[in-house]
Structure 1
């Protein structure tokens, strides 16, 4: 599968998680960061999307420890939460 097809598929999966909170967190993260990802980052994000939303959200907010396989620059960017739109 080529890069553009993988990214389109990932964008859909990131924005259709099942809850509005997870959509905003994971979809917003994807939209903000995917353009700078290489193939390894795309593969890591594909694996991350296999995890439960409650776990991903817990890792992003710091309420759960991040498993070793996800520790790194992508998780640090996810933990920043600066990509989630906040209504004023």
Structure 2
């Protein structure tokens, strides 16, 4: 795994908000290896967004703003966290 992917994977699992650590970390573990450069940039942008905003989108309390919609956000919304993993 290249350095950029490793750094993004680390950031995804160390968010500071436990629920997001678990969801984003597991999502990154499963998907980051298959992301192309455009998707990596989208994921990095999501990681730079405040946790509470992204979490509200994930749990359906708020709609995803059009400027955050994309293939990675679609996969994240469809992602099923596995507490046993």
Match of 2:4 among 3, 6, 16: 6
Is residue 2:17 matched to residue 1:31? no
CA distance in structure 2 between the aligned counterparts of 1:44 and 1:72, rounded to whole angstroms: 8
TM-score (norm 2): 0.88
TM-score (norm 1): 0.85
How large is the Cα RMSD of the aligned pairs? Answer: 1.5
Gaps of 5+ in 2: none
Shift of 1:45: 0.8
The structure 1 segments of at least 4 consecutive aligned residues displaced by more than 6 Å after TM superposition are none
Q: Which segment is superposed worse, 64-73 or 12-21?
A: 64-73
Gaps of 5+ in 1: none
